[in-house]
Amino acid sequence: MTISGFTFARNSQKYYFPVRESILSILPIVDEFVVALGGSDADDRTREEIDSINSPKIRIIETKWDTTTFPNNIVYAQQTDLAKSECKGDWLFYLQNDEVVHEQDHKRIVSACENYLDDQEIEGLLFEYLHFWGDYDHYHQAHNWYPREIRIIRNDPAIHSWKDAQSFRRFSSFGGTYYDYQKKKDSAKLAVARIHARIFHYGWVRPPKIMTGKARMGNPTLAQKDRLGKRKPIPDVFDYGPLDRLAIYGETHPEVMKERIGKLSWQDQLQYSGKRNTNRPLYKHERFKYRFLSWLEYKFLGGRQIGGFRNYRIIVNAKSSML
């Protein structure tokens, strides 16, 4: 059995993605790691970050980002597919640049890959998610944050990245166009096994000024609109809001994150308690609807979401006791 790791990257170092840590976090358990590297800005050092790992397992393919043909973040799915097409393993382990795996979960992941290798009904493996926000001590337990997602898939040419590359689907007809990456017709959710393994998502743990830069690139979650639908000016420093309304994480982080966590330097720009800034629109997790649903789900349903995004069919459900 062989496992290929894969990802896409562009301006990752510039925008404070832990791309190096992400790759390192699964490098010991994969046979190769393929990176589709788009043309970054002159002041970005993503290539240098990846090269500094100095591993023969890593293979970089140069790609071009065509946001005219693939707008609205669909380019993420297209770039993901380019990396996927270069993979040679039986299983393909996908990580985005802000996702990191804990070394404590390595044995569980490899064991699951071995266990389901000959079970053709299982097309992918489903991971638990921890979405950190503002710093490394606070994370979301909220209805609008997906609690799990597919991160290992079979090496099957009929399986493609979907929409903005959050997930995967199996296609009976696929032409590689902008519309193909969004359609449900001629496609199906993957049959998956839910496993005892976590994805540490650090995409929302960045210096506030850099997070503002992400908003100005057109991120729909950050580029807020007012009640009339008009886009509001994006401030110079991103406001994470009161952190005491989030869950506190008290366990260990992946070892590869130790140095980065030690360099956290924007605590004085975070709000740890008090009322939110009323001069900005509410984030989704701050709205009454989502706060009520989140309270209901975690108080009475053990974290099970009412509705929510589920682009998969769970065939084997190993309920996690780790989170």
pLDDT digits (tens, 9 = 90+) for 55-114: 999 999 999 999 999 999 999 999 999 999 999 999 999 999 999 999 999 999 999 999
Average pLDDT in the 2-30 region? 98
Specify the pLDDT at position 235: 66
The owner of tokens 């070892």 is: 255
What whole-number percentage of the chain has pLDDT above 70?
91
Average pLDDT in the 266-288 region? 93
Q: Which residues of 117-152 are buried (b: 16+ CB within 10 A; e: fewer)?
A: eeeeebbbbbbbbbbbbbbbbbbbbbbbbbbbbbbb
| Residue 72 structural domain | 1-323
Geometric angle at alpha carbon 24, from 114 and 124, rounded to 5° = 35
Q: What is the spatial distance between Cα 298 and Cα 219, in angstroms, rounded to a whole number?
A: 28
pLDDT exceeds cutoff 80 at 234: no
Region of 271 please: left (phi>0), alpha (psi -120 to 50) or beta.
beta
- State the average pLDDT for the chain: 92
Q: What is the spatial distance between Cα 126 and Cα 123, in angstroms, rounded to a whole number?
A: 10
Per mean pLDDT, which range of 6-10, 28-32, 49-53, 214-218 is the poorest? Answer: 214-218
pLDDT class of 220 with cuts at 50, 70, 90: very low
User: pTM for the full model?
Assistant: 0.93
Average pLDDT in the 153-166 region? 97
Specify the pLDDT at position 302: 81
Per mean pLDDT, which range of 108-117, 136-145, 278-287 is the poorest? Answer: 278-287
Closest CA to 178 of 66, 294, 301, 52: 66
Q: What is the spatial distance between Cα 190 and Cα 150, in angstroms, rounded to a whole number?
A: 9
Geometric angle at alpha carbon 220, from 44 and 64, rounded to 5° = 40
Considering its fold, how many domains does the chain have in total? Answer: 1
Closest CA to 205 of 296, 131, 152: 131
Closest CA to 91 of 178, 197, 176: 197
Specify the pLDDT at position 215: 53
Average pLDDT in the 308-316 region? 91
Which token pair is 171?
Answer: 């296609």
Q: What is the spatial distance between Cα 44 and Cα 10, in angstroms, rounded to a whole number?
A: 9
